[in-house]
A and B are shown apart, each in its own frame.
Chain A
């Protein structure tokens, strides 16, 4: 019971600025997911996604004894992403996490933003990325599907746990050197359960309805690799950033040496003065938050440019 609660952050554990950042991330990413699924979302898909959201909810009840009174069960992000494609999975998992908070107080309302990001978006995209990678490397066999889904399920849970630990640390609720090993360690075990159930479910579906296991269409997966890569890079950068070199970077160093740094004008709008967030005290943590925000901004710009490039190409060639 404890492990799953450890990913549903209740209110009070995230500070207001961190929670607000989570809501912002959720709004942006769910907004993109809605846009991405709009073309493929025939009226056919609405009942499917609604009922599959109820399925995830019910499937989380199915548990199996692991050891010492603990039991394993599903979160489901990777499974749904493998079956429906990552963007649709984001919508399904967002509905699941949202209803858990609203109806059952499983996870807070203010903390809903990061709960959706962690369990809905990170686990779905990381899970899907591993699955797609395995299929590309090993071919379109069921062995590839199983290996990819298992790796994806495990990595998705682990990435969500690491993200949760970071958010708690940035909020000042739990120091990173305690929260990170604890969350990552516990969820390395939980992730094994997730992987086993995911593969078991896929094996069962393969035997009964193999037609449902085809690769989701191109529209369902468009841009997914970029998002997954972005999320992983963001996590990696955030984890490494407190260890980064505190010395000023090259250009600043040169400017200081030559004494013209005083001449430099401060920018008109300082969003992140000196890569720090004003209301967060701890130096390492503020660097982490700045890192996340920076990566998000860069990712957003990159994504926009990529979209622009794609639509430009479509115009010139006249065909998608």
Chain B
């Protein structure tokens, strides 16, 4: 995993940032289901969905193009769908290394890519405008089991500490490993894997022992096995109405798509 482990949250005070996180989670999920259900060849619907998501990005002051660019991160996976171009029967549009690309195949492949790209934009809107702690209590009030809420809450608290721990391990390895251009460095594959394994084992022990210290510290502060949190604020009707707006737009787009563009 080569992405840098950085939070995507962008602090801000826009309408989107202030919206009740429970509403945001539900709206995001419904938007993604809607995007994935869009009929394959309903091209105008994809354009409208993009406008809808871009509009939300502007509302959250995230930048229309920046959101679109960031959402490209899932595209490497599209290799998995690339075979659709060759295997779907249809009229030949071009040949690649003797393989026939059909028009229908190209369309299906493009639809999968567009859906994936739009769905990532929707998920990004949620992650970029909602602090993770808010996301967590929203999930808790949407019936995520208490045990998982507690585990994920603690995980989030130590995620970046342990990321730094892992980076220190890798820096130490790099500092002790000479390398030169055009010259293979390091021992055999098995040896390299054993070094990486030792690093993982070392990280495990550091994490395990940290968890013992954390537990002792929690006990000292009166931990009894329950994570305490403030009661979630009541759900306001304004938030529900606001959340309804993008869903209404989605419904209209889907109706248009089903009626004329399918």
Which residues of A does B touch, CB under 8 Å?
A: 1-2, 4-6, 8-16, 19, 30-31, 34, 37-38, 41-44, 46-55, 57-67, 72-74, 79, 83, 91-92, 94-96, 98-99, 101-106, 108-110, 168, 173-175, 178-179, 193, 196-205, 208-209, 212
Contacts and interface: CB of A to CB of B under 8 A. Distances in A.
A51 B80 contact: no
Chain A binding site: helix, strand, loop or mixed by DSSP? helix
Contacts of A174: 80-81, 83-84
A34 to B, nearest CB: 6
6 tightest A-B CB contacts, nearest first? A200-B197, A50-B154, A204-B201, A43-B225, A12-B116, A12-B115
Contact of B208 (A9, A12, A48, A66): A48
Contact of B158 (A30, A54, A74): A54
B251 to A, nearest CB: 16
Contact of B150 (A46, A83, A101, A108): A46
A104 to B, nearest CB: 7
B7 interface: yes
Interface in B100-125: 112-120, 123-124
A106 B200 contact: no
B147 interface: yes
Given A168-B81, A174-B81, A201-B197, 4 more contacts: A10-B116, A49-B151, A55-B203, A95-B152
B53 to A, nearest CB: 13
Contacts of B114: 12
B13 to A, nearest CB: 21
A102 B135 contact: yes
Contacts of B208: 48, 51-52, 55, 209, 212
Contacts of B215: 44, 47-48
Given A47-B215, A175-B87, A202-B201, A61 B120 contact: no
B162 interface: yes
A205 B206 CA distance: 11
B92 to A, nearest CB: 18
A13 B77 contact: yes
Contacts of A8: 77
A59 B166 contact: yes
A103 B132 contact: yes
Contacts, number: 285
Nearest to A204: B201
Name which of A66, A67, A197 has the most chain B CB atoms within 10 A of its CB.
Answer: A197
B55 to A, nearest CB: 20
B214 interface: yes
Interface residues of B, number: 87
Contact of A34 (B7, B147, B153, B189): B147
A242 B8 CA distance: 44
B7 to A, nearest CB: 7
A109 B120 CA distance: 9
A213 to B, nearest CB: 11
Nearest to B190: A196
Contacts of B124: 105
B36 interface: yes
Interface stretch (B25-33, B56-64, B234-242): B25-33
B169 A62 contact: yes
17 contacts: A5-B77, A8-B77, A11-B35, A54-B156, A62-B169, A102-B127, A102-B132, A103-B132, A106-B1, A108-B119, A168-B81, A173-B112, A200-B195, A200-B200, A201-B201, A201-B204, A202-B197
Contact of A10 (B74, B157, B218): B74
Contacts of B207: 51-52, 54-55, 58
Contact of B159 (A37, A57, A62, A173): A57
B203 A53 contact: no
B56 to A, nearest CB: 16
Nearest to A178: B83
B5 interface: yes
A98 B211 CA distance: 21
A212 B200 CA distance: 15
A72 B162 contact: no
A15 B193 contact: no
Contacts of A199: 197
Contacts of B169: 62
